[in-house]
Amino acid sequence: LREDTAVVIVGAGPAGLLLANRLIQEGVDCVVLERHTRAAVEARARAGVLEHRSAELLARHGLADGMHAAAAKHGTCEFRRDGTRFTVPYGELAGGVAHWVYPQQFLVRDLIASFLEAGGDLRFAAEVGELAEVATERPSVTYRQAGEDRQRTLRARLVAGCDGPKGVCARQVPAGARRVYERQHEWGWLTVLAAAPPSTEHPIYALHRRGFAGHMLRTATVSRYYLQCVPGDPPENWPAERIWSELDARLAVDEPWSLTRGELLETRTLEMRSVVSVPMQHGSLYLAGDAAHVITPVGAKGANLALADADVLATAMTRYLRDGDRAALDAYSDTRLPAIWRAQAFSRWLMELVHAPADGDGFAAQLQRARMDELRTNPSLAAWFAGQYVGA
């Protein structure tokens, strides 16, 4: 079975769905292929923090109604160390802007609904197996719809690889045609989602001898927590009591404060890895979001970068398909990479600030203490942090 369309989009995450919505708004024909069911995609909890510029981007394209109705706005975060704490009013420091706390699965749900309402072609349970002729102007994508034996093929003029960090699209770029920059960070993370109301009004980054602990906000009834652990430490080593007592110890302050516990919804260990694949394009194939670059959750940048990639790509694809102008498409990688590297640099800076170093209370720990003091007392550094963090 063969069909034709202008753009095939592989993956219905934030990148693929924003691109699909923008293309359909511009009248460009596209098909989205997603390996999971709609229910599974809409239930996948990951990111929760949208930058100011992502919120503006969504609003500019009429895709922010759900976020405006349900998201909380935040402009302050808190750092803890040795029983003390201080807050950074980053929203105010960045000129009166804010983060929008809106779980990624809600955004995904909204973007699916708006694309389908606009008459979009989104095929769930459609697993892409291979891409062909991506170096030419007639690439094709072969996929299998769940429950069917035969494969289907879509021919297109352009393919957008929005299939996440382990997708098939990035592998289509020949090894000799790209450079993969990769870093395995020296810390491990346990990520925890719990049915517990937040015990704080703003996100907490706690630096502790036993390791970093983070308390992030999601909704009025669900919170996210992070615990630094040995890389590769399996979640089985972390029963509920250990998780809560570690959080109690690492988040403790010398004043009345307590952590509200709740049922654990999800506990995972996360590989703390950063990857940037350059260029983000090859022939008729364009990579966006985690398919092109992976960033750790520190600094909350991954979904924001995915949205920004998709926005630039949508404009470039539209110009080419509607007006025959290739300039923006050819420049796609070069347009996006500076911001991607800035996000990686900020994320690494924040990681070094809050993770317990391997040398215990040695030299690295003293540097870290100095850096934290600088952030607390130096308005120029706090202003830089604010702009980077909120994405002003």
Catalytic (active-site) positions: 74, 205, 297, 301, 389
Which residue, 338, 336, 343, 347, is CA-closest to 280? 336
As a whole number of angstroms, the distance between CA 207 and CA 355 comes to 6
**Shortest distance, CB of residue 63 to ligand RFL, whole angstroms?**
14
Q: Is 203 in the site for ligand RFL (CB under 6 A)?
A: no
| DSSP 3-state of 28 | coil
Residue closer to ligand RFL, measured from CB, 348 or 369: 348
As a whole number of angstroms, the distance between CA 172 and CA 340 comes to 21
Backbone angles phi, psi at 110, to 5 degrees: -65, -45
Q: Is 10 in the site for ligand RFL (CB under 6 A)?
A: yes
Distances (CA, A) of 56 to 62, 65, 124: 10, 12, 29
| DSSP 3-state of 204 | strand
Cβ atoms 129, 258 nearer than 8 A? no
Among 28, 31, 41, 229, binds ligand RFL (CB under 6 A): 41
**Shortest distance, CB of residue 160 to ligand RFL, whole angstroms?**
10
Among 6, 7, 8, 11, binds ligand RFL (CB under 6 A): 11
For CA atoms 354, 356, 361, 364, the dihedral sign is negative
For the segment 322-381, give every residue that binds ligand RFL (CB under 6 A). none
Q: For the chain, give me the number of helices (H) and strands (E)? A: 12, 23
Residue closer to ligand RFL, measured from CB, 207 or 300: 300
As a whole number of angstroms, the distance between CA 119 and CA 116 comes to 5
- Which one-letter DSSP state was computed for residue 267? E
**Shortest distance, CB of residue 14 to ligand RFL, whole angstroms?**
4
Lay out the site mask for ligand RFL across 252-291 (x = CB under 6 A, - = otherwise). Answer: ------------------x------------------xxx
Q: Is 47 in the site for ligand RFL (CB under 6 A)?
A: yes
Among 58, 213, 285, 303, binds ligand RFL (CB under 6 A): 303
Query: How do beta strands 77-81 and 84-88 pair?
Result: antiparallel
Rounded to 10 degrees, the C-alpha dihedral 341/342/345/350 comes to -140
Q: Is 211 in the site for ligand RFL (CB under 6 A)?
A: no
For residue 279, say if its preceding peptide bond is cis, omega within 30 degrees of 0: yes
**Shortest distance, CB of residue 333 to ligand RFL, whole angstroms?**
16
Residue closer to ligand RFL, measured from CB, 74 or 81: 74
**Shortest distance, CB of residue 48 to ligand RFL, whole angstroms?**
5
Using the contact rule CB under 6 A, the part of the chain among 9-17, 112-120, 334-342, 360-368 near ligand RFL is 9-17
As a whole number of angstroms, the distance between CA 144 and CA 129 comes to 7
Residue type, 151: Q
Q: Give the Cβ contact number of residue 271 at 10 Å.
A: 13
For the segment 74-133, give every residue that binds ligand RFL (CB under 6 A). 104, 127-128
Lay out the site mask for ligand RFL across 149-168 (x = CB under 6 A, - = otherwise). Answer: -------------xxx--xx
Edge-to-edge strands of the sheet including 293-294? 179-184, 273-278, 293-294
The helix (H) or strand (E) run that includes residue 106 is helix 104-117
Among 196, 227, 306, 314, binds ligand RFL (CB under 6 A): 306
Residue closer to ligand RFL, measured from CB, 4 or 266: 266
Residue closer to ligand RFL, measured from CB, 15 or 368: 15
Using the contact rule CB under 6 A, the part of the chain among 67-75, 76-84, 302-310, 359-367 near ligand RFL is 302-310
Edge-to-edge strands of the sheet including 188-195? 84-88, 77-81, 204-207, 213-217, 223-229, 188-195, 263-270
Residue closer to ligand RFL, measured from CB, 79 or 161: 161
| DSSP 3-state of 10 | strand
**Shortest distance, CB of residue 194 to ligand RFL, whole angstroms?**
13
Q: Is 388 in the site for ligand RFL (CB under 6 A)?
A: no
Q: Is 12 in the site for ligand RFL (CB under 6 A)?
A: yes
Q: Is 204 in the site for ligand RFL (CB under 6 A)?
A: no
Residues in touch with ligand RFL (CB under 6 A): 10-16, 33-36, 41, 46-49, 104, 127-128, 162-164, 167-168, 191, 270, 289-291, 297, 300-304, 306
